[in-house]
């Protein structure tokens, strides 16, 4: 009888790196399309972190909320949706190098509307 198959270790998503040009371009493109002006006051102050999986072509395969700064579900949902829209629009403007797919295929993105910073 063969031993049970061992599943591969999960790939761990990483925060968007600071150094590479593609990361700076992606960060700028996402931030420039991130619109929190139409959100409720609470949502406009809500920080959300998304786990994102991308295809080799740079298309979104999945997103999920991994952290929020509020217990208000409505505000979290609004902030999450605004972040997803900015991600989608930012990706359309960005060139992600295929040779570095391993570095960007799974990312953690923190959207902080209070500071206007994407980490």
The closest of 43, 33, 13, 60 to 112, measured between CA atoms, is: 43
What pLDDT is attached to residue 9?
47
**Strands (E) located in the chain:** 14-15, 48-54, 60-68, 106-112, 117-118
Q: How many domains does the chain have?
A: 1
Q: Each residue of 72-111: pLDDT tens digit?
A: 999 999 999 999 999 999 999 999 999 999 999 999 999 9
Q: Does residue 82 or residue 1 have the better pLDDT? A: 82
DSSP character at residue 106: E
Please calculate the CA angle 66-19-60 and round it to the nearest 5 degrees: 40
Give residue 37's domain range.
14-118
Does residue 4 fall inside a structural domain? no
Instruction: Name the token pair of 77.
Output: 């949902």
What pLDDT is attached to residue 119?
81
Does residue 21 fall inside a structural domain? yes
Instruction: Specify the CATH number for the domain of residue 20.
Output: 3.30.1150.10
Contact criterion met (CB below 8 Å) for 92 and 60: no
What pLDDT is attached to residue 5?
56
The structure's pTM equals: 0.86
What pLDDT is attached to residue 3?
56
């Amino acid at each position: 009888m063969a031993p049970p198959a061992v599943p591969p270790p999960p790939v761990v998503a990483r925060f968007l790196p600071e150094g590479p040009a593609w990361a700076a371009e992606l960060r700028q493109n996402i931030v420039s399309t991130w619109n929190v002006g139409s959100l409720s006051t609470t949502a406009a102050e809500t920080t959300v972190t998304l786990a994102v999986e991308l295809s080799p072509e740079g298309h979104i395969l999945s997103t999920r909320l991994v952290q929020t700064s509020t217990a208000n579900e409505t505000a979290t949902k609004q902030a999450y949706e605004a972040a997803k829209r900015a991600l989608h629009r930012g990706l359309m403007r960005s060139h992600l190098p295929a040779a570095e797919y391993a570095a960007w295929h799974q990312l953690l993105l923190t959207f902080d509307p209070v500071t206007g910073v994407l980490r």
